[in-house]
Amino acid sequence: MSQNVETRVCKNKKCQKVLPAGYKNKYCEACKNKHVEKAKKAVKSIGAGAVTVASIAIVVVKGGKIKL
């Protein structure tokens, strides 16, 4: 009995659900969905952050550091 079958579990430490053989994802289906939600929220907050950075940059430029 030396079958080299890897038992893979969900990467979420709080989950640790055993993933089915041949399953390609690191996270189980449920955690993957949660990740998608998180990613979407992250993109939104990054978007808001980018706007903030952009307005700071405008203030710096207006502050006279760059004169054209």
Torsion of CA 37, 40, 46, 47, to 10 degrees: -150
**N-term to C-term CA, the chain:** 76
Q: 23 or 43: whose CB is closer to Zn ion?
A: 23
**Scanning residues 1 to 60, which ones bind Zn ion (CB under 5 A)?**
10, 12, 15, 17, 28, 31
Q: 18 or 53: whose CB is closer to Zn ion?
A: 18
d(CA 63, CA 55): 12
Q: How crowded is residue 26: how many other Cβ atoms within 10 Å of its Cβ?
A: 14
Q: 8 or 12: whose CB is closer to Zn ion?
A: 12
Smallest distance from the beta carbon of 23 to Zn ion, in angstroms?
A: 11
In the complex, the residues that contact Zn ion under the rule CB under 5 A are: 10, 12, 15, 17, 28, 31
